[in-house]
Amino acid sequence: MRPLRPDDLVELGVLRGPYGVLGWAHVRPYSADAEVLRSARRWWLAMPADAEPRVPVAVTGVRRQGAELVAKWQGCDSPEAVQALRGARVFVARADFPEPPDGQVYWVDLIGAQVFNREGLRLGTVLQLQNNGVHDVLEVDPSAVPAGDPSGKRARTLLIPMVDAYVDQVDVDGRRIDVDWQPDW
């Protein structure tokens, strides 16, 4: 019987192909430190054509190899087995993430959070985060906020640097981020 797929899967990387002759695989993580992929012992794989992850794998080893990782899991013992999975997206259940270090949060926990400025004005909802090479940036969608502009123009997406100068408080449990930002910046 196949294990039930968790509802909280988060996509964290992609399988790039075989590494060596013993069934290890190159994995390109989406995050530079790849802490979750390195610590989780159960991954879920989704082939490129699959919308949902279907294949659980029991990870037996993971190590850094340059900018990527190499990983091994039970039942994968040849480069041909890895090649058959090339391009598969790698997921991990959010419940299996290690606790983040003090003062840090996982990006996935911020998506959907409401963003308010110091005046209490709701600026919108976090759509995603990105990294510009210097710092992380919140992409905030103001579309659900009642428009104050009588012209009816749709408000533009806000890009708010995720740095102490602009982010006052992050309440992950409350799904709220307080910032020093204005809607017209």
pLDDT of residue 53: 80
Which CA distances in Å does 37 have to 12, 14, 167? Answer: 7, 11, 28
Amino acid at 10: V
Q: Would you state the torsion angle of the CA atoms of residues 164, 165, 166, 167, taken in this order, to the nearest 10 degrees?
A: 20
Burial 105-120 (b: 16+ CB within 10 A, else e): ebbbbbbebbbbbeee
For residues 74 and 9, is the Cβ–Cβ distance under 8 A? no
Give the separation between CA 175 and CA 46, rounded to whole angstroms: 29
Considering the domain 9-96 in this protein, what is its CATH number? 2.40.30.60
Which stretches of the chain drop beneath a pLDDT of 50?
Answer: 151-152
For residues 109 and 22, is the Cβ–Cβ distance under 8 A? no
pLDDT of residue 147: 53
pTM of the model as a whole: 0.79
Give the separation between CA 117 and CA 145, rounded to whole angstroms: 13
pLDDT digits (tens, 9 = 90+) for 89-104: 999 999 999 998 888 8
What are the sequence ranges of the domains in the chain? 9-96, 107-179
Identify the H or E element spanning 59: strand 55-65
pLDDT of residue 51: 81
- Residue 95 is classified by DSSP as G
Give the separation between CA 168 and CA 21, rounded to whole angstroms: 51
Q: Would you state the torsion angle of the CA atoms of residues 125, 116, 107, 6, taken in this order, to the nearest 10 degrees?
A: -60
pLDDT of residue 5: 86
In CATH terms, 107-179 corresponds, of 1.10.3720.10, 2.40.128.630, 3.40.190.290, 2.30.30.240, to 2.30.30.240
